[in-house]
Chain A
């Protein structure tokens, strides 16, 4: 058995989270507007693990925070198990909070430096559940063992923990109230390679054991491959491709995804990929290109691309791509190396 997360058919399960045309714009002075998330719609089914990948300026972190209402979306609907979070009252939000939690990127930064691990873990229990002190203490013990930490870590301060241990505490905190959804914001990017893999294995095990749903944000495709069942690729605030993780990673369709996946380093020494290079620089999110935002760097762009906005269209069941040229009927003249299956078989694929 490999470490791949098992794929479940999306249509069998009701969506736990449903984002409809979510938009987040920041307004600066002098008509400078930054649209971090531009009318993104996606669903997360219960029990699945959705990876949202993208590079700087893609808007993936902003999207994640909007989805659990850590920040307010400018417009759009965010449905969590039927309730619209964007328009919920604070009382409703309070009740719902225990059902979705978040794990942060920098393990040390996400812990109160003056609090022991036990205090950090007890806080969500105090605020969001009605447990008694004894019950809470016991739950803390359970949580520590869930994340494979010895009980003596209860009384440790963050500076007394290694990076991996700190992140385990962060994960334990997210699991304290038995949530349905866990948002993971680049949870391993601050960790060493070995610790990273341990944490990813832990996340997989926890998802199975506790029947969790993950929203996994990352720019590390390799970790997404290990943890996610489905993937959505973002570029400058929009989703350009989404589908089953294994498919999109090994056979990317959208030109940006092709370039992205070809840059992922394989685990073997013998295989040399030809990398698909992107021209130009990443445009400023303050001044995004017209029409298809990717057209300034796209190897198959034509003049029409700068005029029409792209919409996500299905190319095969469950696999959507936002590129009219590809989803249209026409023949595409791919430059050398861009056509065919993406990352060559080097152990990175299934």
Chain B
């Protein structure tokens, strides 16, 4: 198999709290291939954003990466030199976040910001960089790019600001675009535009996109592979079509059933409930306290991610048992 673009191995992120250490990302293993559109699903607090920030080596203090390796194209990112890390972050990986307007520098026009980002990694004149910036805005289908390039972030609508942020992120042609809830709060039609844009970039430029969201519909419609996180752990990981057609983990099943609305409410798996305690973690499966099909064993033994179908990994003892019974 070809080398993945990004590989997270046993990544662990902890935060000190007054009650003890909170393990926000718990030994996460993840790979994203070249040109792949990958989705990371989870509810608020599942640790998905933190995983992405950790992958870039940007965990905000007092949080820290307590264990694990991040490999970008095989290279150990976390142990690289500071300037090498910065180059990787600016050039090979780029991030877009939820509130685009807040992520842009309010003091500079968007044209200048994009130009600056370009000049940071390319030896060109200011004029050339600015022209690149205008081109970048055109490539994200911003209407009237030269005019928009002169505007400031506060003058843009939410959708426009997000486009500008994408242009900023993509101007250096990164191999990986990380999008953290990029369309939350945007209108439906704008959301579709933004997602189509990101999808097209993957196709045309060969970049990978790593989208982080709680919205399953986005994952269903745009991603090729996806992983589900709960309590800082990956609990299921596989091709998107498999995940939706045959969700193995009860949490995933609950999410998919609720989304697809096929079963009557009474028959659906109930997987909602209180958020897990990340400091005082229970023994065994972290989802067991909320799981409608938990068995006694689940509260004792921590399940590991096991491959239950072609490239389809699940962290669930019950699912493992069912898979064994099926093949038997």
Contact = CB atoms under 8 A, between A and B. Distances in A.
A and B touch in the complex (CB under 8 A): yes
Interface of A: 1-3, 55-56, 162-164, 189, 192-195, 197-198, 201, 219-222, 226, 259-260, 263-270, 272, 275, 277-278, 280-282, 347
Given A192-B214, A260-B188, A269-B245, 10 more contacts: A56-B187, A164-B272, A192-B44, A193-B214, A194-B254, A194-B271, A195-B272, A221-B188, A267-B217, A277-B193
A87 B158 CA distance: 37
30 contacts: A3-B264, A55-B187, A55-B189, A162-B275, A163-B44, A192-B43, A192-B44, A193-B43, A193-B216, A193-B258, A193-B259, A197-B258, A220-B188, A221-B188, A263-B188, A263-B189, A263-B191, A265-B218, A265-B220, A265-B221, A267-B216, A267-B217, A267-B220, A267-B259, A268-B260, A272-B221, A275-B196, A278-B189, A281-B157, A282-B157
Given A56-B158, A267-B260, A269-B220, A194 B191 contact: no
A266 B44 contact: no
Given A55-B188, A55-B189, A56-B158, A267 B261 contact: yes
B194 to A, nearest CB: 11
Interface residues of B, number: 39
Contact of B274 (A56, A162, A198): A162
Contacts of A192: 43-44, 214
Contacts of A281: 143, 157, 160
Contacts of B221: 265-266, 269, 272
Contacts of B191: 263
Contacts of B185: 189
A55 B192 CA distance: 13
A34 B245 CA distance: 48
Nearest to A53: B188
Contacts of A272: 221
A194 B261 contact: no
Interface in B118-160: 143, 157-158, 160
Given A2-B264, A268-B260, A347-B261, A193 B255 contact: yes
A275 B200 CA distance: 14
Interface in B199-251: 214-218, 220-221, 240-241, 244-245
Contact of B262 (A189, A259, A347): A347
A1 B214 contact: no
Contacts, number: 92
A201 B265 contact: yes
Nearest to B144: A281
The main secondary structure of chain B at its interface with chain A is helix
B157 A56 contact: yes
B256 to A, nearest CB: 8
Contacts of A269: 220-221, 240-241, 244-245
A37 B244 CA distance: 41
B240 to A, nearest CB: 6
A163 B274 CA distance: 10
A194 B217 contact: no
A341 B297 CA distance: 51
B310 to A, nearest CB: 16
B189 A197 contact: no
Contacts of B265: 3, 201
A194 B272 CA distance: 7
A316 B240 CA distance: 40
A269 B260 CA distance: 11
Of residues A162, A267, A269, which shows the largest number of chain B Cβ atoms within 10 Å of its Cβ?
Answer: A269
B38 to A, nearest CB: 14
A222 B261 CA distance: 11
A318 B151 CA distance: 45
Given A55-B187, A220-B188, A280-B143, A268 B196 contact: no
Contacts of B43: 192-195
A282 B261 CA distance: 33
A201 B192 CA distance: 26
Contacts of B160: 281
B109 to A, nearest CB: 18
A197 B259 contact: yes
Contacts of A263: 188-189, 191-192
Nearest to B258: A197
Interface string B178-198: 000000010111111100100
